[in-house]
Structure 1
Amino acid sequence: MRQPRWHQEGEEPDYRFSLANERTFLAWIRTALALLAGAIAVIQFLPASALAGTRTVLAALLALAGSALPVAAYRRWARVQRAMRLGHGIPFTYLMAAVSTALAALGAGMIVLAFVA
């Protein structure tokens, strides 16, 4: 398998830091899987509510987030690996704020659904 270009830049970081970065990536992947499982649960177990299509919209949002998160997680992992190879600081990301905000909004939507249904 061909390695990305940045893998040839700089020098190999301490393997402990690379493994820590990989564990963080895997945590984001677990979060993505949980979002996808949540989408399935919403469609299968949430009763049809008075708000037509709400269940489908919530499930679609969860599925979209669960599908987009692995891509964002890989990009984040690669940026951190590259920064470590070049001796730079860890790059800033809005990923955590975006996921937190999206999950808070989806959670609020679920609460509304629980009271309406």
Structure 2
Amino acid sequence: MKISRLGEAPDYRFSLANERTFLAWIRTALGFLAAGVGLDQLAPDFATPVIRELLALLLCLFAGGLAIYGYLRWLSNEKAMRLKEDLPYTHSLLIISVILTIVAVIVMALVLYAG
């Protein structure tokens, strides 16, 4: 079923706010994708090639996951608004924060090791 046929159309301000949040997820995903590509292509001396490529791959994979998550989050919020239900709560934000923290610790360790 198409989302536009589900329930009633919510106030356009809420739909636009939901869309802005989705676009923020996409911008964040693009940032991680750029970081992964930049690390792989522009920092050949950052770490050993295997570690550098693994970290770049992890950043790119995380970017893809964020893009998918952003869409699924937009979809679930849009459905809830159209059906006049409470917006769904998610624990995924904690998981995303933990993954980002792990990546940051790895990068800091590599910077200290390379320096």
TM-score by length of 2: 0.90
**In structure 2, what is the Cα distance between the partners aligned to 1:48 and 1:24?**
34
| 2:43 equivalent in structure 1 | 45
Deviation at 1:5, TM superposition (A): 2.9
What's the counterpart of residue 21 of structure 2?
24
- Could you tell me which of 77, 80, 98 is aligned with 1:80? 77
**Are 1:38 and 1:59, in contact at CA under 8 Å, matched by a contact in 2?**
yes
After alignment, is 91-100 or 12-21 more displaced? 91-100
Residue in structure 2 matching 1:35, options 27, 32, 37: 32
CA–CA distance in structure 2, aligned partners of residues 90 and 115 of structure 1:
43
- What are the residue-to-residue correspondences of 1:1-117 with 2, within 5 Å? 4-43=1-40, 44-45=42-43, 47-49=45-47, 53-117=50-114
How much identity, in percent, do the aligned residues show? 40
How big is the shift at 1:28? 0.2
| Ranges of 4+ aligned residues in structure 1 off by more than 3 Å | none
How much does 1:6 deviate? 3.5
Q: Deviations over 1:3-34 (max 9, x none)?
A: x4343121110000000000000000000000
How many corresponding residue pairs? 113
Q: Does the C-alpha gap of structure 1 residues 9 and 30 become closer, same or farther in structure 2, counting only changes over 3 Å?
A: same
Q: Which runs of 5+ in 1 are unaligned?
A: none
CA shift for structure 1 position 63: 0.4
TM-score computed with the length of structure 1 as normaliser: 0.88
Letter in 2 for 1:67: G
Moved more, 89-98 or 70-79: 89-98
Give the Cα–Cα distance (whole angstroms) in 1 for the partners of residues 18 and 37 of structure 2: 29
How far apart are the structure 1 equivalents of 2:90 and 2:69? 10
